[in-house]
Chains A and B, each alone.
Chain A
Amino acid sequence: MDRDVTQDQRYLLDASARFIEQTYPLERVREKPFRDADWAADYRRRAAELGWFSMLVPDEFGGGSVSGNGAVDATLVAYLRGGMLQPGAFVATNVVAHALSVAGNEEQREKVLAALMSGEQSAAWAVGAPAVHGPVGGTVQAKATGSGYELTGSTSFMVDADTASWLLVTAEVEDGVSQFLLPAGLPGVSVTSLESLDITRAFTEVRFDRVQVSASDVVGEPGRAAEPAARQLAIGCVLTAAESVGAMDHDFSMAVQYAKDRIAFGRPIGSFQAIKHLLADTSLLLEMSKAVTLSAAENLGTDDGYALESASIAKAFVGEHGVDLAQNCFQVFGGIGFTWEHNQHLYLRRLTTDAALYGDPAWHRERLCRLSGL
Chain B
Amino acid sequence: MTKHMVDLDEFRGEARTWIRANLERRPQSDARAAGSDDRTPEEIAESRVLQRKFFEAGFAGISYPAEYGGRGLTPAHEQVFREEAAGYITPDFGGAGHVMFTAIGRSLLAHCTPEFLRRHIPKMLAGEELWCQFYSEPDAGSDLAGIRTRAGRENDRWVLNGAKIWSTGAHHADYAMCLARTNWDVPKHVGLTWFAVPTNAPGVLVRPIKQITGSTGFCEEFLDNVVLTDDDVIGEVDQGWTVAQTMLVYERGAGSSGSAPIEPRILASDLVAAARQAGRADDPVARQAIARAHVNDYAQYHLGKRISALLRTSSKPQPAIAAYGKLASGTLGPIRARLAVEIAGPLGLLWREDDELGAATSAGYLNGRVSSIAAGTNEMQRNGIGERVLGLPREPSFDSTKPFSQVVRDARNWSHRVG
A positions within 8 Å CB-CB of B:
2, 4, 256, 259-260, 267-268, 270-271, 273, 275-277, 279-281, 283-284, 287-292, 294-295, 306, 309-310, 313, 316-317, 362, 364-366, 368-369, 372-374
Contact = CB atoms under 8 A, between A and B. Distances in A.
Interface centre among A280, A292, A362 (most CB of B within 10 A): A280
A174 to B, nearest CB: 28
Contact of A288 (B272, B290, B328, B382): B328
B214 interface: no
B386 A270 contact: yes
Contacts of B296: 317
Interface string B297-328: 01110110111011001000000000010011
A94 to B, nearest CB: 23
A288 B299 contact: yes
Nearest to B385: A280
Closest 7 CB pairs of A and B: A365-B291, A270-B392, A276-B386, A291-B302, A280-B382, A372-B267, A280-B385
B215 interface: no
Chain B interface mostly: helix
B27 interface: no
A275 B385 CA distance: 12
A279 B396 contact: no
Nearest to B281: A374
A80 B353 CA distance: 57
A256 B392 contact: yes
Contacts of B309: 4
Nearest to B289: A365
A366 B390 contact: no
Contacts, number: 123
A15 to B, nearest CB: 24
Contact of A283 (B379, B385, B393): B385
Contacts of B266: 372
Contacts of A2: 310
Nearest to A290: B306
Interface of B: 265-267, 272, 281, 284, 287-288, 290-292, 294-296, 298-300, 302-303, 305-307, 309-310, 313, 324, 327-328, 331, 379, 381-383, 385-387, 389-396
Contacts of A281: 327, 331, 382
Nearest to A318: B299
A374 B267 contact: yes
A277 B292 CA distance: 23
Nearest to A371: B267
B305 A291 contact: yes
Contact of A260 (B379, B392, B395, B396): B392
B392 A271 contact: yes
Contact of A271 (B298, B331, B382, B395): B395
A289 B324 CA distance: 13
A188 B2 CA distance: 74
B291 A267 contact: no
A346 B299 CA distance: 27
Contacts of B267: 368-369, 372-374
Contacts of A294: 302, 306
B392 A276 contact: yes
A260 B272 contact: no
A317 B265 CA distance: 16
B287 A374 contact: yes
B393 A306 contact: no
A366 B294 CA distance: 12
Contact of B390 (A4, A273, A283, A368): A283
Given A281-B331, A284-B328, 18 more contacts: A256-B390, A256-B391, A260-B393, A270-B390, A271-B392, A273-B382, A273-B383, A276-B383, A280-B386, A291-B306, A310-B298, A317-B299, A366-B287, A366-B291, A368-B295, A369-B291, A374-B272, A374-B290
Contact of A365 (B295, B387, B389): B295
A365 B292 contact: yes
A313 B392 contact: no
A10 to B, nearest CB: 15
A82 to B, nearest CB: 19
Contacts of B313: 4
Contacts of A364: 291
B393 A284 contact: no
Interface centre among A4, A291, A316 (most CB of B within 10 A): A291
